[in-house]
Structure formats: C-alpha cells, structure tokens
A and B are shown apart, each in its own frame.
Chain A
C-alpha cells in the first residue's frame, strides 16, 4: 500500500514562546509543501498521461478536459458535483477513521447498501412522523444498521486477531446479497413491476441550501470531515487510534484497551458509512433498485491515501473526482469516448501516487529521489547494467 496509516503525523500548532519557533515553522512549512507536492504531482501526471493516451487514440485531450470543466463546474453544474461528492466524502471519512488504526474495513459496500435499503424500506411506515424527526430517525437507523454490520469482523479482529480484510469483504458480500433480497422481498414496491423499493415523497427528502439545488447532506458531509479531523488530531481517541495503527505492541504496552478500541473504530467507521447512505438516499435517490451498487468505497480509497488519511485533505480530491464524474460522463459521451476512460484516469493517479510515494520515502531515508538504478541509467545510459557487479567480481 502506498501510504501506511502510521505515516500520518498530525501536529498541533506550535506552542508560543518556544525558542526555535522560526526553525520549527520552516520545518513545518517544508512538511506541508512536501505533502502538497506529493499529493498533487500524481494528479497532474495522471492528467498528462491520460491526455497523451487520448491524443494517441486520436482524441483532443484539451477539448475533453475543457468539456469536463464546463459540465462539472460551470453554470451551476458544480452543484451536481457537490451532491455527487457528499456520500463519497462521508465514506472517505469513515474509512480514514479506521485506516488510522491500521485496520482495513473493506466491507463498505455491504454496510452502505444495507443502511440505504433498510431506511427506504422503513420510510413508508413512518408516514405520520414529523419530517424533522423522520430524518433524524432514518439517519440514526442507517448509521446503526451499517455499524451493526461491522460487529462480526470487529469482534473477530479484537478477540481472535482474525484478518479483517477477509471478514469485512465476506460480510460485504453477504450484506449486498441481503440488501437485494430485502428490495425484492419485503421492501418491494407493490405498485410497480420492477424490483425496487417505494419512493420517498419529494417533500420528505432533505431540504436544499437556500439559493441552490444542493441538499444539506453536503453540509453534513463537510461537518463530519471537520469533526473527524478534530477527533483525530486533538483528542485522546485520535491519539490512541494512531498509536494502535503505528505500533500495536506499544498500544498494549502503554495501556490502551486494544480490544475496545478496535471495536469502537469499526463502529465509528460503519456509522459514517451508514450516514453516507442516509445522505445519498434522502438527498438524491429516494429509493433503491435491486442490484444497485454504486461501490463508492473502492472509488474513494485512492483518495483516502492520496490525502494521507487526513479528513480535511481528502476534500479537494473528492471534489476533483466529483467534477470528473459529473462532468466526465457527459464529456465522454460528447467526445465519443467510453466513460470507462474516467476509471483509467483514476487508475493512473494511483499508479503515479505509488511511484511518488516510493521516491519520497527514499528521500526521507536520506537517499536521493533517484534510485541507484535510475541514477546509473542517467549517468551511463548505454552501458549494460551488470557491469559494475562484474567489475567487482574481477
């Protein structure tokens, strides 16, 4: 994995009156600059490489990118992008909370869909409820359901050190299947032939921010990111997560209740993913169709690592991706490029991220950005590789 959760060090603002303040500040500036470079360079390289690819395939990359910009940002279309981004951001934050502890919750699809399906199934039965209470109930239910779906992996991890990658993935399969059964069975809308749930009436959907088409779920997502950032960087819970992630043996040595912390981090992660489901259903969709699975989690993971598990740092990446999707689909259609090309761009970002991460790590270790092989390649591009070794053997 490109970024290990333990690499992330959250540093509080410098205390006042410390003598080496300027040195400390410049070190911090350098660190921030380093982070920005390491995060942005992969994106830029991916755009360039993707552009080259388009150009080779006979498309005009500039037109394509410009068209994405027009359809994703300009003339109010940023509002659609924002709504696309809301559930992504919530899931990203949910993953960050648990990745910090170096625990891999990969069961996001099951958790998300179960949360979404249960609340759409529940909504018609809450007809008499005041609207505000209706929203609060559905949010709470979605969060509880998604969190509950993490309990089995959490307990297995805490008490038997079972690999959570496997258990969460398995639970996710079961969750997705169960969600489909629910849609086709008890929650099926009897008035239509297509397997889908009943639609939540428009007046019961989340309100929009005045003056825009954007629902308030976007604000909830941004708020969650800020709160998560505060929790991770300022509270004891955040530090315990970090210690557990960076050195589990140290965690038990210093008296962290590792079992409880593992379970809590799973619950928090699941709840945030459930919250994403509630925002998405009550903000945009209003119903769930059978076999529907947006698979937000896999989309979001690269950005989670690009942002170095920083809940605020992930916002620009989510924004970038949201613009890419909401503008890109149309742009791809216009340019007659398969919309799968957007996934190629994301994959390129991942690829370059890994490379930059490796080079950055080398530099941290005191080497240069170049690997010995590369450096030799630059210096003596035409000489065969084995030469140095042969000389040594002689």
Chain B
C-alpha cells in the first residue's frame, strides 16, 4: 500500500512514518458541553491515534455528534482542552478544523448535486481564480487509486449512488490534506455492497496513516472495523476498549462488553438480540391470511416521482387485515411515491386505491387520516415535525382544527397538553416537557413522537417508511415491536431498505424495483437470497451502474 500514496506525498506519507510516533493525532481532554436542559458531553476524554480506526459508539442522544461537532469546529466546548499533534488548540470554526487537518464526512451528503465530481472537489479551493480542472482530475484519479475506488470525475454528483457520493465526500475531506477523518454514521444510508466497499476504503485510509473516527450505533460495525472502541452514554464516556483488547477478544466477547457499556450493567442479555440474531432466525411464523379482509389495495396504480426519482408504475398490491406486508428494494426505486400515494400526499395518474373496499383516490390526507390510514414518514425532520413548535402541538398536527383539540375555533391547549402527556409516557418520548420544541429532541425521540401521532387515535392501516433508519438499538427494537403489534386486527405496510428488518417483521415481502413490484414472497427461511436476486436482477441496470 505504500505505492499509491504519492498524491498525499506532502501530508500523508510523512504521517506514515510518524505513525510510530507516540504523540496521538488528537487528544480530547475533559470535554464538557451543555445545552439547555441537556448535558450533551460530560468530562469526555478521547485519544485518536494515527493508523487507527476509532469507533465511537452510543445510542442516539448519547452525545457522539456533539463531541465530534466540537472537534470539527461546529461547536465550542464549555470546558476541556483539545490537543492536535500534542499542541493545545482552540477550534473556532469548521475552517480552523480543516486547517488543523481535521476533515469530516457528514451523514447526509454535502455535495452540490448539479456540479460534477471534480467541480465539487474544487469548491473548497476558494483561493484559485482559474479552476485547474485537469490537475484536479489527475489528483482525483490518484486518490481513487489509493482508496481503491472508481469514480468518474465528470459525472454529476446527483447521478452517483449514495455509496459513491460518500466516497467523493471522503476524498473531499482528504483534498485539503486532512490527517484526521471523522465519519458520522457513514453506513446508515448505504446498501450492503456499499458498506463492504466502505470497509475497504477505511482499511486503506488506516494503512495510509490517518486517524479515523467512525461514529456509529451499530455494534457489529464497531466490532468489525474498530481498532479502538469508545462508548458514550448520556454524555459520559462509559468505557474504552483499547487496541490490545480488541485484538485479543472474540467478537462475541466484544459485543457483550460493548452492550454492557452502552446500556449499563444488566442490559447485556436483552439488548443484543435485535441485531445479533435477526439475520439468523429470519422470522417468526407467518400469519397465514388467505381469505382475510383486504385492508388496502392498489390496482394498476401509477404516480409520478420527483425529479430523477422513479414514481410507481402500474402497481397492484394487496394488504390484508392482520398482516405486515414488507416492501423491499434499494432506496430510490419508488418507495416515496408509493408511500405518498397511500397517504394522500401524491395523486395517482392512473389506477385506483381502495381502503377497506372503498375507493379513496379522491380523498385528501386529512380524510384518510380520519379513516384510520396513517403514514409514518421516513423524512421525520423534513416533513414529519415542525421543529419550532412544541412537542404537544406536533402530536396533534394532523388533527388541526378538529375536536376535542379545537372547539368553536379555539385551541384547547389544556386538552392537548394533557393527551400529549399521556402519549409521551406511553411511547416513552424523552422530552423535558410537552412544551419543549420538537426540534430539540434527539432523532430517536422525534421518531417516537411521529409514531405516537400516527399510531394513536383510531389507526387501522399504517404505512411505515424506513421507520428505524438512523435509530439506536433500543428504539429500533421498540419500533419493530409496535409494527408487529398491528397484527391484532390492524395492518401495516413496511417499506424498508433494511432487508434484515423485513425478514424480522414482515409476513410477506414485495420487492420494489424501478417503480414496479417485481415479485412478492412469503417470508420464511431462504427468502433473503430470493429477494436479493429479484432486487439485483433489475437494479444492476439502474442505480449502481458506475
């Protein structure tokens, strides 16, 4: 791996020799940071070494993002010191962080979709008057070779699959000579193949002598990738597992240890199951519903997608009462159009949609909500909540103007708060009060808020769109349990890109590819391969074409 390091000759090659140097790349000492009502970081110390992947684990809201935000210059710590290469520094802004050689790859893409890969990389070079496209292309090729990836420099960023986009983001972070790389939940948006590619890239970065921070809440990733694992809980560092321990322990031992650190003593037994056994067990016995009542039916339904995204094309689908129907597929194959057509946010261009036998194609979101047709959106921050409004108001957002929360046109705040209090308790939403702005909650709690709104009242059929995306273990498990509970005379449509999730929860699984249902299978042993084949047979033509 020493060969392809030329592009980084100035910065990284030096570091390779320096990797033996005992001075850590970055030291965080006693970092504390409080937000109103929350101690996000409490006296956290962390050491990042060259040539090591340091996994930072913790549930949502444990303080991982805050800690890395401090290192990336997004936030200022209340106390504590940061040392880079042994020298105390104050990281005042993201720019300072970059100048110190700390690059960050965020969970969500920061690329400009309309620009080409090279143009995106050149964006940061504000000092240049003329853009050296040729030089940049050459440099990109060198980076690509080094990381073992294959990126077309002239393709527009928005046309790249998410995994490729992330590779560009990594190169963008390295572009200005970063020696420390922070990856914030890098696997959460990726397909399994892309995750595998990412692993290779990380391995090469490590060999190149970079210090890599890998933020995650998936423990199997930490076990597979981490040279050193640190666990945060409620803002405190509950433990670090060092290099030697990681090497000498078996994966099972490590997982048990991490679970203990993440959830506290005594949690070891229960918390590990969802992730560790899902793939193996496949699924509980499917409820056979041959002649059950059809709860929701699409008949030859078509709808437009947004932009380059496919809509749905001539889709027919039946969801029975007492059933969880999964919809598998790589993201961006019409999932959103399908969900929105059912929720009423998107009009059908052709075909029909029926709810308990009655056509509902001409009804709007509010009417469907009243019928008991609910939609848990995948975009909880973008459309699921209004961040600036209190939790209590967010819980009644789909019932604005209706009794008992509005009477004679006047809002009944006491009633709203009272019911919100009940829901907060029932769905275990961690919030300082029902008056707190919804935007101040952590991701998992925002999802619980959305679930509380959609599942309360008289929910009959619930559409879930990537319901556990970005959630921690515990919340994921709770959400999946809620979905399974709908078998008691209600029904759920679970649209997910996480095949393990579908195998765990769904009775039948439909496979979605480029806006069409390419097959429906009963859940059971061996279906994973079957689904995988269906997904890939068609997808290879489309998204992953690079």
Partners in one complex: yes
Residues of B that sit less than 8 Å from A by CB: 33, 35-36, 75-76, 84, 87, 89-90, 92-93, 95-96, 99-101, 343-345, 364-366, 369, 375, 377, 379, 382-390, 393, 397-398, 400-401, 406, 409-411, 413-414, 417-418, 433, 435, 437
Q: Which of A43-51, A253-261, A309-317 contacts B (4 or more CB under 8 A)?
A: A253-261
Q: Could you say which of B87, B398, B411 contacts A254, with CB atoms under 8 Å apart?
A: B398
Report yes or no: B406 in contact with A253, Cβ–Cβ below 8 A.
no
User: Is A392 a contact partner of B365 (Cβ separation < 8 A)?
Assistant: no
Contact of B384 among A239, A250, A388 (CB under 8 A): A250
Say whether A254 contacts B365, CB under 8 Å.
yes
Residue among A7, A14, A239 with the highest chain B CB neighbour number at 10 A = A239
Q: How far is the CA of A131 from the CA of B75 in the complex (A)?
A: 65
In the docked arrangement, what's the CA distance between A14 and B47, Å?
A: 47
Residues of chain A whose beta carbon lies under 8 Å from any beta carbon of chain B: 6-7, 9, 11-16, 18, 20, 24, 234-237, 239-240, 242-243, 246-247, 249-250, 252-257, 366-368, 372, 376, 388-389, 391-393
Known: A255-B364, A257-B364. A246 touches B344 (CB 8 A): no
B76 to A255, Cβ gap below 8 A?
A: no
Question: Are B435 and A11 in touch, CB under 8 angstroms?
Answer: yes
Contact B96 A253 (CB under 8 A): no
Residues on the A chain within 8 Å of B375, using CB = 253
**CB distance B389 to A9 under 8 Å?**
yes
Q: Judge whether B389 and A249 touch: CB under 8 Å.
A: no
Which B residue sits closest to A233, measured CB to CB? B411
The tally of CB-CB contacts under 8 A between chains A and B is: 113
Sampled A-B contacts (26; CB under 8 Å): A6-B386, A9-B390, A12-B411, A20-B433, A24-B433, A236-B400, A236-B401, A236-B409, A237-B401, A246-B388, A247-B382, A250-B382, A252-B383, A253-B343, A254-B398, A254-B400, A257-B364, A366-B33, A366-B76, A372-B76, A388-B92, A389-B95, A391-B87, A392-B84, A392-B89, A392-B101
Q: Bound complex: CA of A121 vs CA of B377, how far in Å?
A: 55
Cβ of A9 and Cβ of B388 under 8 Å apart? Answer: yes
A257 proximity list for chain B (CB < 8 A) = 364
Known pairs A250-B397, A255-B369, A392-B96; A366 contacts B389 (CB<8 A): no
Asked if A15 and B411 sit within 8 Å, CB to CB, the answer is no
Contact A24 B435 (CB under 8 A): yes
Verify B400–A253 contact, CB threshold 8 A: no
> Quick check: B409 and A255 within 8 Å, CB to CB?
no
A156 to B113, CA, bound (A): 28
Residues on the B chain within 8 Å of A242, using CB: 386, 389
| Whole-angstrom CA separation of A256 from B375 in the bound complex | 15
Known contacts A15-B414, A243-B389, A367-B76; decide if A253 and B409 are in contact (CB<8 Å).
no
A246 touches B93 (CB 8 A): no
Closest Cβ neighbor of B66 among chain A residues:
A366
Which residue of chain B has the shortest Cβ distance to A252 in the bound complex? B345
Cα of A255 to Cα of B365 in the assembled complex, Å:
5
Q: Report how far A391 CA is from B101 CA in the complex, Å.
A: 12
* Identity of the chain A residue whose Cβ is nearest the Cβ of B101 in the assembled complex: A392
- Closest beta carbon of chain A to B471's beta carbon, Å: 20
CA distance A104 to B456 in the complex (A): 37
A7 touching B388, Cβ below 8 Å: yes
Residue of B nearest to A17 (CB): B414
Complex: A52 Cα to B402 Cα, angstroms:
56
B386-A366 in contact (CB<8A): no
Name A393's contact: one of B90, B99, B387 (CB within 8 Å): B99
CB-based closest 6 A-B pairs: A236-B401, A255-B365, A255-B366, A12-B413, A372-B92, A253-B383
Centre residue among A234, A255, A376 by max chain B CB count within 10 A:
A255
Residue of B nearest to A376 (CB): B92
Q: A240-B400, A372-B93 are in contact. Are A13 and B99 (CB under 8 A)?
A: no
* Seed contacts A253-B377, A254-B400; 11 additional CB < 8 Å A-B pairs: A18-B417, A20-B433, A24-B435, A234-B411, A235-B411, A237-B401, A250-B386, A253-B375, A253-B383, A254-B397, A389-B95
Q: Do A15 and B344 form a contact, CB below 8 Å, given A250-B384, A255-B366? A: no
Q: Is the CB of B387 within 8 A of A246?
A: yes
Whether A15 and B397, one on each chain, are in contact in the complex, defined by CB atoms closer than 8 angstroms, is no
